[in-house]
A and B are shown apart, each in its own frame.
Chain A
């Protein structure tokens, strides 16, 4: 395998208009410098520990373990981070980087709103202007997060092009960036897009897996048998997996959104149904038709409702290092309730996809085996949508 810059096997690359190439190489150079800058790393770690609340807990889900009757289950509690999800890890890194680069304004796409909230939070903290692009459909599904971003001082743009979801929010943020790069950094929210974003975002999320390893060795004296995480663009999964890639006995399992089912037209199961293509700056897998038109995808989870996946995941699947499974809306909603009742933890509906697969996998494993499930975020934002899904009327 020949490794080219910004490539994961054949995946990745920089498929982006010429106008943006200057901004990307500026970012690449700045990142290469600050990655090795001890002062930058010190500031970043300080923010992670004293602002975001890292390291996050590795929680032994005893009731769930007993109930499922198989592998010993640990939950990596990214839901306990400030702003309520793993998104803050990446955002603190990128916004700090933007500040060092002399940028005065950040823009970002958001699906469920978690990345938008995290970006607005970091921008408030570090005194940067902030504008968030969010699909109109998602602003309805996640109205609370829209208001949260506004409270934090961000301007929220409703995107009403295309399917009015995450994909279109990315399109619109790219259009905004190409018009204004001089003072603006695009805080991309997942391990996707053109190089160097997949690498930068993975590096700013890889502490999840590093902490898991350290914590599980302290608690159990050994590595886990499986690490399970949900995959939309794939940042919490990549962050969880990266430290374990060379530990070949650790299964790495990504859970994507099957929506109404992988055999229906209403899903976002990129790894299961996708084909190789070039979109949003990267060569990767996409849900698309035979003419390369990007498909309209569906998931109950706004954060997983995306027709592509990060190139490093496509690579892990291609070399059979990562396993990817699809979880339906119904299974995720079931798992949402299950974890709430069983452990008193309300998971984000995205994370509920990982919980749903854990429920299937655990009973097939031996009691002496260990499974770690990354709980990427908390479910407060989803309570209203889950109630709607179940036909329960509540006063929001």
Chain B
């Protein structure tokens, strides 16, 4: 079977996956950040679609969502921006979005636009295995890879989720919401061993990874790391001037790969 663009990222290497909230602080900065992050070594980028009520997010990304919405960012603007930036970066781009913005926009209309602007995959944190049929058909039709998640509480759910996972498996490192954490207590290695019993799908760990040291620790057991809040925090601090600072952070993290 041919590997899709997301799976190809993991061939022969480990991946650095970066998250930013789209439209934070504005759409132009988001576009610049995507280009800069790709140059600084990001292997894949998740663009968060701002939502009024990001229930799975900690304070840092909640605030980013609020900033983006205050500045009037809409998903239509994000589609247009992705289309522009697609000409400049080759790495896979994914949307991270709650279910409601997709559902209300129209599931088919949404995926069609994703395909047209060059989005590779979609991560929907409030769409668990039991509800994945909600997007399965439209994702398939428009060749958008739906990314599945496993959590420290998944235990015997891991096998069924891993068996049907596509692209990569998003391994949530800790209980709770997104955000910086001083240490990751979960037995991530154990989680991934459970995945390996049934699937070869690449596993990337996210939630709470902010430093090169944490990334290094995780890379000992996984195929990739996802860095989100740490980047968004820099954007919060430096706003439109954050591009170089984010680049610097990524180069530091990339050094441990």
Name A residues whose Cβ lies closer than 8 Å to a Cβ of B: 13-23, 161-162, 167-168, 171, 174-175, 178-181, 275-281, 286, 288, 290-294
Contacts and interface: CB of A to CB of B under 8 A. Distances in A.
B41 interface: no
Of all A-B residue pairs in the complex, the 8 with the closest CB atoms, nearest first, are A292-B104, A179-B176, A19-B151, A22-B153, A292-B100, A292-B101, A293-B52, A278-B99
A291 B22 CA distance: 14
A352 B241 CA distance: 53
A18 B162 CA distance: 13
B6 interface: no
A179 B153 contact: no
A349 to B, nearest CB: 25
B51 interface: yes
A180 B175 contact: yes
Interface in B111-152: 125-131, 134, 149-152
Most chain B beta-carbon neighbours within 10 Å: one of A21, A168, A290:
A21
Interface of B: 51-53, 55-56, 58, 62, 69, 74-75, 98-105, 125-131, 134, 149-155, 157, 161, 172, 175-177
A297 to B, nearest CB: 12
B176 A175 contact: yes
Contacts of B131: 13-15
Given A162-B52, A175-B177, A293-B51, A277 B100 contact: yes
B103 A22 contact: no
B62 A17 contact: no
A378 B62 CA distance: 37
A296 to B, nearest CB: 9
Contacts of B69: 293
Nearest to A281: B126
19 contacts: A14-B130, A15-B128, A15-B131, A17-B55, A18-B128, A18-B149, A20-B153, A21-B154, A22-B151, A162-B53, A178-B56, A178-B177, A278-B126, A280-B55, A286-B100, A291-B101, A292-B51, A293-B101, A294-B52
B4 to A, nearest CB: 22
Given A175-B55, A294-B53, 7 more contacts: A19-B175, A162-B52, A178-B176, A178-B177, A181-B175, A279-B53, A291-B104
Contacts of B153: 18-23, 181
A288 B127 CA distance: 19
A334 B51 CA distance: 37
